[in-house]
């Protein structure tokens, strides 16, 4: 005879809240960024104030941004992949063109539908942003509008 676990309403709420906080942590979101995301999606600043539909919307958005999966079964960035050199290259290109990090964030959003460049998970994504920045640098150099 199969055993079925009955999910009590409080249990699901606790799991959802834990998943929201874990997903935000996976994406290296600070508290303000997490609260901004929740407010943008639901109108509330706190995950604790959300109903089932609000929690589901936040969890769906976190998954879209790359959160999810169990520790040890991470499908995005391999644990040994160091993104620092690529982020440093992005920073160098931004500095040369005198552009803010928001420019790279907009590229990440446009190219991969991921809100922040720092949240990109694969070498391919980071190389795509580097290629876009390098192409912009070359366009600016050709126009004589700055950039090396």
> In the chain, what are the domain boundaries?
9-64, 84-143
C-alpha–C-alpha distance, residues 78 and 72, integer Å: 10
Say what the pTM is. 0.46
Question: How many Cα atoms occupy the beta-carbon half-sphere of 23 within 13 Å?
Answer: 26
pLDDT, tens digit (0-9, with 9 covering 90-100), for 67-113: 775 544 444 444 446 778 888 899 999 988 899 999 999 999 999 99
| The 3-state secondary structure of 113-125, one letter per residue | CCCCHHHCCCHHH
């Amino acid at each position: 005879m199969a055993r079925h676990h009955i999910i009590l309403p409080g249990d699901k709420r606790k799991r959802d809240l834990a998943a929201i906080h874990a997903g935000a942590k996976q994406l290296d979101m600070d508290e303000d960024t997490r609260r901004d995301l929740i407010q943008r999606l639901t109108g509330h600043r706190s995950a604790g104030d959300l109903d089932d539909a609000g929690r589901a919307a936040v969890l769906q958005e976190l998954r879209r941004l790359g959160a999810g999966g169990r520790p040890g079964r991470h499908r995005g960035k391999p644990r040994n992949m160091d993104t620092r050199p690529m982020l440093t290259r992005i920073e160098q290109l931004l500095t040369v063109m005198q552009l803010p990090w928001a420019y790279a964030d907009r590229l990440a959003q446009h190219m991969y539908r991921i809100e922040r460049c720092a949240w990109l998970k694969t070498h391919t994504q980071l190389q795509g942003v580097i290629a876009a920045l390098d192409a912009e640098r070359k366009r600016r150099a050709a126009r004589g509008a700055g950039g090396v």
